[in-house]
Amino acid sequence: MVVLIHHYLHLPFSSPSLSLSYHSSSKRPRVRISASSSSSPMDRQNRRRGGYVDFPHLSAQHRELMLDLVSTVETRLESDLLPSSLSPDVQYFENESGNSQAALHIRSGDKASPIDLVLGSWIHCELPSGALDITTISAYLKSSTDAPRFLIEFLQSSPTSLILILDLPPRKDLVLHQDYLDTFYGDTQLDKRRQELAKVPEVRPYFSSSLYIRCVCSPTAILVSINCEAGGEGRMEEIIRDHVGPVAKEVLGIWLDRCACGGRVVEVHERADLEMRDRLIKKKTIEIDLGSSLPRLFGPDVAGRVLEAIRDAFNT
């Protein structure tokens, strides 16, 4: 769900209701503000409770980008994905005080699909140091293919500061499998996207304090921090629109074309190692990050049912 939040938990709203609609011809999402003349307690609660595709705490350009990415994934993979089976209290959840809120969206792949699951989430929490917003899209593939998975995560600690992780994490040892390195990282010229983003003056390399996170990333991973204190919120919006957005869409397009929809088929006798690696990645995601951060943010009861739903989806 998230891979960075535990690094921020030690540091010392209201919004209009949003809904997602699709143009009948293109299925491209658009955000519309929902208005209601009623002011009952239930209506006020519904306006506060944002669904996954609402992204209620993001800036305009950030929300636009996330909607575009979600739409692209679901439109391209629609025939491969099953409907979400999450209960309403897992699709959206918050702590007792309401200062930590989150939405979770999981769609598993059809039996015949190479897609294992697609997971999206957002978290908004009020910390002593200020508001923290995390948005994530991650996709896992089955062992019928050895292609990399997809990950994009934004961690925003202020309107002028965010961390971006964008990667196709490998599922094979790149030292032992030179053809894998060439096929998915060399031939696709993924490193050019990282280089393009690095040219933006406000962009700096980001180094996670977790060695585990750093070791599971690919050599072309985009791990950057963006600081726009001098230019303000307007400059951050420009960077997301003109630089981050185009790169993120290109990387997602490469993953969809070369991995999700065009990945290599793996022989049955080769699948055991892939399955073991995938299980360990999912297990570590829960153990290292979610298992400790969610209870601290949402309390044991809420975190328990969310973690159970994620474990069920991960089949761990």
Residue 274: its H or E element:
helix 271-284
Placement of tokens 């990645």 in the chain: 281
Q: Dihedral sign, CA of 186, 117, 114, 271?
A: positive
Give the residue among 294, 301, 252, 287 at the shortest CA–CA distance from 104.
294
44: tokens are 């006020």
Tens place of pLDDT per residue across the chain (316 aa): 545 555 554 433 222 222 222 233 333 333 332 333 333 333 334 434 557 899 999 999 999 999 999 999 999 999 999 999 999 999 999 999 999 999 999 999 999 999 999 999 999 999 888 899 999 999 999 999 999 999 999 999 999 999 999 999 999 999 999 999 999 999 999 999 999 999 999 999 999 888 888 899 999 999 999 999 999 999 999 999 999 999 999 999 999 999 999 878 888 888 999 999 999 999 988 888 788 889 999 999 999 999 999 999 998 4
Domain of 202, CATH number, reads 3.40.1500.20
Q: Give the residues across from 121 on adjacent strands.
A: 104, 136
Q: Are 77 and 118 in contact (CB under 8 A)?
A: yes
Q: Are 123 and 2 in contact (CB under 8 A)?
A: yes
In this predicted structure, what is the pLDDT of residue 3?
Answer: 52
Number of domains in the chain: 1
What is the spatial distance between Cα 299 and Cα 228, in angstroms, rounded to a whole number? Answer: 34
Residue 179: its H or E element:
helix 178-181
Residue 137 CA, chain-centre distance (Å), reads: 2
> Global pTM?
0.85
Residues in the chain: 316
* Alpha-carbon torsion angle 139, 261, 144, 150, nearest 10: -20
- SS3 at position 222: strand
- SS3 at position 26: coil
Range of 200's domain? 5-314
Residue 167 CA, chain-centre distance (Å), reads: 11
- With a CB cutoff of 8 Å and minimum separation 6, the contacts of 197 are 203, 222, 224, 243, 244, 247
Q: How many helices (H) and strands (E) does the chain have?
A: 11, 10
